[in-house]
Amino acid sequence: MADPLPPASQWDDVDLDSNPDEGGCEDPEPAYRYHGEYRRAAPPYVAGRGFIRYSSALQHLIPVRPRNKKKRETLGVDEAGLFSFITFSWLSKYMTRAYKKGTSMDDIPEVPPSDSCDYNAQRLEVMWQKEMAEKGPKAASLKRVVWRFVRTRALLSICVLSLNIITSFISVAFIMRWLLEFAESPDAPASDGIKWACCLGVAELLRVVFYAGAWSISSR
């Protein structure tokens, strides 16, 4: 029988780029850092019913949300408001810290519980067991389960991306044409030019917001 592995406290940092024959291993740069025993950070998944299962995601529609600073630092996407969510401004402090001081493994925050592997594996397992119970082992389809797993966010992302495409079409096909017609007409009042310029700016802003929103939704 093979000898058991040594406890975690006896593990040493290893520098994969060092050569023992050159005697350069006194103060190696750690290539792997052991952070202790595995800890389940995500709560157990409980299948929700009806509209209440979307209550957490719908909180992103709140324009501005204060963050609880007493909690252990996690990625702020779950506590991001509408503007922060669609503009990714919740990433600003991490990018600023990385630019000014650099980052290490200790600086990387934990993922939110809803994005953890544990939580999503439990959710997928519940859906698969339900599929097996309804269709039977032979008729059960993994494709159907995976589609059900991502269906809501995929459809919502498609809808928001469709708004982006529609806004882009209106901006180029109509507003830009009206603005060019104003520029070619010497008798047109200046108020028309200001109106079409403002409409073009609003359309472009909405196009960017819809695109960023679709990207934010689909990334989760």
**SS3 assignment, position 121:** helix
**Can you give the pLDDT at residue 185?**
87
Residue with tokens 């252990």: 72
Task: Give CA–CA dist 98/75, Å, rounded.
Answer: 15
The separation between CA 59 and the C-alpha centre of its own chain, rounded to angstroms, equals: 15
| Secondary structure of residue 84 in the 3-state scheme | helix
Q: What is the per-residue pLDDT for 32?
A: 40
Give me the pLDDT at residue 38, please: 43
Cβ-based neighbours of 156, under 8 Å, separated by 6 or more: 217
Quote the CA–CA distance of 213 and 59 in Å, as a whole number.
14
Per-residue confidence (pLDDT) for residue 44, from 0 to 100: 62
CB 212 within 8 A of CB 86: yes
Q: Which amino acid is at 189?
A: P
Whether the Cβ atoms of residue 8 and residue 34 lie closer than 8 Å to each other: yes
Helix (H) or strand (E) holding 80: none
Mean pLDDT by 10 residues, the chain (220 residues): 51 48 47 44 59 57 57 68 79 83 78 80 90 90 92 90 94 91 87 91 93 84
Ordered by start, the domain boundaries in the chain are 150-220
> Distance (Å, rounded) from C-alpha 180 to C-alpha 173?
11
Q: Which amino acid is at 83?
A: F
